[in-house]
Amino acid sequence: MASPVETPTPARSRARISARTLRTDRWWIQPLFTTLGLATFVVYAGIRSFMRSGYWAAEEHYLTPFYSPCISDSCVPGSAHFGTPLGELPGFIPLAFLSLPFLLGFRLTCYYYRKAYYRSIWLSPPACGVAEPHAKYTGETRLPLIVQNAHRYFFYVAFVITLINTYDAIVAFQGGFGLGNLVLLGNVVLLWCYTLSCHSCRHVTGGRLKHFSRNPVRYRIWTQVSRLNTRHMQFAWLTLASLMITDLYVWLVSTNTISDLRFIN
Ligand code: FES
């Protein structure tokens, strides 16, 4: 005779644990470093965007990405690669006012950065097995977080801005060939890796298709984008570093603090 199967007693409620966490490892290291990394970039980029100096190395033709595109009469001669359709801008407006809000929106709504700042800054939750301090969770269904759903539109604009940064890097070769050209190029390559590995780009290339077999070209592009997508977090951090390094390099060269290593003049 078959033995009767025991039905487990359903748990009535979750275990009552008053401690915020039972974890004994240093779970707070990752949120701490994430916060420090993001704060470093925000402070650096914020200061530099408003400085209005040290953004164009005239002799070498290097333009920092933090001031691109520069399209007003306030831009120093040579730095406006697309002309100056606008007059003088008041001092409190960054010269790259056209691109900065979109780039900020692109990064703020990025799937990876969302995860990073939700966990590390918002502490929602700070780590696995660590209770969050918030009593309520409404997800991204109402203002302001519903704006996160606009990510794909920021992606379209960011794509164009990456094209502009690429143009800046190519134009820089008019001044010869130096270490700064490699810095600008390296930054642009990483920016493309970050932009093309975006989840929205994955959707643009392969989304809404019922049959990959009937769309071999899109399937191939989607496959490559998906491959890049697995490294999106790394590109997110690498581009923060490359943007700061590129800007710092242009700043130091343009103010004659260091001289550019020239290969061809
Ligand atoms: Fe990160 Fe789009 S840029 S998901």
**Which ipTM value was assigned to this complex?**
0.99
Mean pLDDT calculated for residue range 50-61: 97
| Residue with CA at minimum distance from ligand 1 atom 1 | 110
pLDDT at 31 over 90: yes
Report whether residue 109 contacts ligand 1, using a CB cutoff of 6 Å: no
Cα of 152 vs centre of ligand 1, distance in Å, is 8
Ligand 1 pocket test, candidate residues 200, 204, 226, 234, most atoms within 8 A of CB: 200
Predicted local distance difference test score (pLDDT) of residue 2: 47
Q: How far apart are CA 230 and CA 52, in angstroms?
A: 37
Q: 186-220, pLDDT tens digit by residue?
A: 999 999 999 999 999 999 999 989 999 999 999 99
Predicted local distance difference test score (pLDDT) of residue 197: 98
- Closest ligand 1 atom to residue 199 Cα is 4
Q: 215-235, pLDDT tens digit by residue?
A: 999 999 999 999 999 999 999
